[in-house]
Amino acid sequence: MPGNALQRYTPQLVGAAALLGFVGFWEAAAAYKLADPMFISSPSRIATVAAEMWEDPDFWRDVKVSSTEFIWGYLAAIAVGIPLGLVIGWYKRAQYALGPFIDVLNAVPRVTFMPIMVLWFGIGIWSKFAVVFLGAVIPIILSTYSGVRTNEARYLRVAKSFGASQMKTFTSIILPGTAPYIFTGLKYASGRALLGVVVGELYAATAGVGHMIAQAGNAFETDRVFFGVLLFTFTGLVVTSILARMEKRFDRWRPEGAVR
């Protein structure tokens, strides 16, 4: 029934219409010189630049550098953050010892460390790797931790009263129940990791999409800047929607009635 389908997709349709309207208005504003295209660029100019850059090997080098920083920093944060979160969630004393450090790191935007990162790791990929890692690892630790704690409170007494061993309790109750929390953390962390890439490359880099944006900005190449920003938007949307989907899949493991 077409009427029903229309109703079902109203949000998407209205949203798409709004987006199209925005793009059209932008193009018109540039075409009729409501604002100087040198400042606001325009969708068609951005598309032209995108087509040009597609052919440019320098652009692909930038993409490669940025994705390397993102992927490795993010993976390292997962590899460190999940075990660490499990440990401080499971062992009270580990949380007492490490808690203050995590709190402090959580309070400070990790990008603040950029000047020191350059001094320690140089201007290449490694300083960005470090900033991406630091940005992403904290939300992963925190959400893994809170996942363990929530589960522990709920099920531990039951498990204990049935005489389950610590190992058994951990693997059969805590781990699966923690999974949805971990994915929530991963989603937050991906945003932080992307932020690290951008700031790190704006601050000091020899290559990367953020570096390209900074250079283009200095030379007033608005089209290129917009293209770079949109590239980040696109990446962010893709990464978060993949993670949101995974989060949803694991969500049925989430203990009922708990957070979200």
Residues 32-71 within binding reach of another protein (CB under 8 A): 39
Residues 145-184 within binding reach of another protein (CB under 8 A): 145-146, 149
Phi-psi region of 42 (alpha: psi -120 to 50; beta: other; left: phi over 0): beta
Tell me the window of 24-32, 50-58, 163-171, 202-210 that interacts with another protein (CB under 8 A): 202-210
134 neighbors 105 (Cβ within 8 angstroms): yes
Q: How far apart are CA 127 and CA 134, in angstroms?
A: 11
The phi, psi pair for 259, rounded to 5°, reads -45, 125
Residue 194 engages another protein in binding (rule: CB under 8 A): yes
Q: How far apart are CA 71 and CA 218, in angstroms?
A: 28
183 neighbors 239 (Cβ within 8 angstroms): no
Q: How far apart are CA 103 and CA 201, in angstroms?
A: 26
Give least dist CB 164 to another protein, A: 26
Residue 195 engages another protein in binding (rule: CB under 8 A): yes
173 neighbors 155 (Cβ within 8 angstroms): yes
Among 50, 123, 156, 175, binds another protein (CB under 8 A): 123
Residue 90 engages another protein in binding (rule: CB under 8 A): no
Give least dist CB 142 to another protein, A: 6
Closer by beta carbon to another protein, 180 or else 185: 185
Residue 253 engages another protein in binding (rule: CB under 8 A): no
Residues 8-27 within binding reach of another protein (CB under 8 A): 10-11, 14-16, 18-19, 22
Tell me the window of 57-65, 137-145, 156-164, 246-254 that interacts with another protein (CB under 8 A): 137-145
Q: Which amino acid is at 246?
A: M
Residue 121 engages another protein in binding (rule: CB under 8 A): yes
Residue 74 engages another protein in binding (rule: CB under 8 A): no
Residue 75 engages another protein in binding (rule: CB under 8 A): no
Calculate the CA dihedral of residues 218, 224, 228, 231 and round it to 10 degrees: 170
Give least dist CB 163 to another protein, A: 26
Closer by beta carbon to another protein, 19 or else 71: 19
Residue 87 engages another protein in binding (rule: CB under 8 A): no
Number of H helices, E strands in the chain: 12, 0
Residue 215 engages another protein in binding (rule: CB under 8 A): yes
On the CB side of 144, how many CA atoms lie within 13 Å of its CA?
25
CB atoms within 10 A of CB 75: 14
